[in-house]
Amino acid sequence: MTPQRDPRVAALLPEAQATINRVARSFALAARFLPRPVRDDINLLYLALRHLDDLVDLEAPSGSAGRAEAAQRLAAIHTWLSSGAIDSAGGDELAIFVDLQRRTPSLPTDAIGAFLDGMEGDLAGPVMESDADLDLYCYQVAGTVGRLMAALLGVRAGDDAQADRAARALGAAMQRTNILRDIDEDLANGRVYLPASALRRAGLDPAATSGPTSLRDGDRRALYLAEIARADADYEVGTAGIRYLQNGGRSIRVAAHLYREILRQIERDGFGLRRPHRPVVGRARKAAALVRAVTSS
């Protein structure tokens, strides 16, 4: 029998539900197919990871007191991972991780550590030179989430390795989709998450801030084509592994279809011809993607 939830963590459930409804509407829609206890675990995991991500994003300016607070919060969680010691500086996020690991002993805590490494990289400012750099980053901030979610959903006996590979791939695909969707928003904040090597292959100059060869002003079609192909390949691996889950297969399939539709929207928008622009999938197309996901499961 699964242990009872820590009352402190249980008290965070309304905030967790409100956060995922507000910030991750597509996944919130998909999560409705989950059994309630599993959905609560997933929502709490999302709340903890989102809190850490927001802390890094909001407090990244060098030298700020917030940056020091973010580093302290991450360090407290690292300490728990390495020694089991619980420091109040870890905040609600650490409380959630501790409780989830107590309730689900198979939770891969090394994935939490890798996620923290990704957050620390964001604090320092992303440096993406090679495809391998981006692959690592996508694993750290999203492939890890796939692994954690797979543990909470449960994996069929004997299928752990296949499920782990699929979870990593699906998380990476979603993160690459995020990056492609948010190019202009990230540029406005002085961040580029695409590797310099990929920009050069597409005829764009990583050092140029304006002009016909810059990411801001140049022709992005070749870049999008290459990166969308990489994302689509990961979606194929990830969705093929959904069958290894004990629970939530339909929810994960729905989330994957809804997210993958963002790539199709980038294509419909002309591969970056509209800028600055954030591709948005309309309700009708979301509904169609939802139907495809449900009928193909």
Whole-structure pTM value: 0.90
Going from the C-alpha of 150 to that of each of 73, 75, 159, 249, 296, the distances in angstroms are 25, 25, 11, 10, 20
- Which range is least confidently modeled, 53-62, 88-97, 133-142, 280-289? 53-62
Q: Summarize pLDDT for 31-90 with one digit per residue, the tens.
A: 787 888 899 999 999 999 999 888 877 544 444 556 777 788 889 999 999 999 998 888
**118, part of any domain:** no
How many other C-beta atoms lie within 10 A of the C-beta of residue 48?
A: 27
Do residues 222 and 93 share a domain?
A: no
User: Can you give the pLDDT at residue 276?
Assistant: 80
What residue has token string 């619980």?
86
Going from the C-alpha of 63 to that of each of 52, 124, 127, the distances in angstroms are 18, 11, 19
Crossing angle (nearest 10°) for helices 36-58 and 13-23 = 70
Q: What is the CATH number of the domain that holds 202?
A: 1.10.600.10
Cα separation of 30 and 22, whole Å? 14
**121, part of any domain:** no
Average pLDDT of the residues of the chain: 89
Cα separation of 54 and 60, whole Å? 10
Backbone angles phi, psi at 155, to 5 degrees: -120, 140
Do residues 65 and 164 share a domain?
A: no
How many other C-beta atoms lie within 10 A of the C-beta of residue 16?
A: 23
What residue has token string 């029998």?
1
User: Can you give the pLDDT at residue 111?
Assistant: 97
User: Can you give the pLDDT at residue 58?
Assistant: 52
**120, part of any domain:** no
Q: How many domains does the chain have?
A: 2
Cα separation of 269 and 278, whole Å? 10
User: Can you give the pLDDT at residue 40?
Assistant: 94
Do residues 49 and 171 share a domain?
A: no
Do residues 249 and 287 share a domain?
A: yes
Q: Which domain holds residue 179?
A: 126-297
Do residues 41 and 153 share a domain?
A: no
> Pick from 57, 73, 108: which residue ends a domain?
108
136 — pLDDT class (breaks 50, 70, 90)? very high
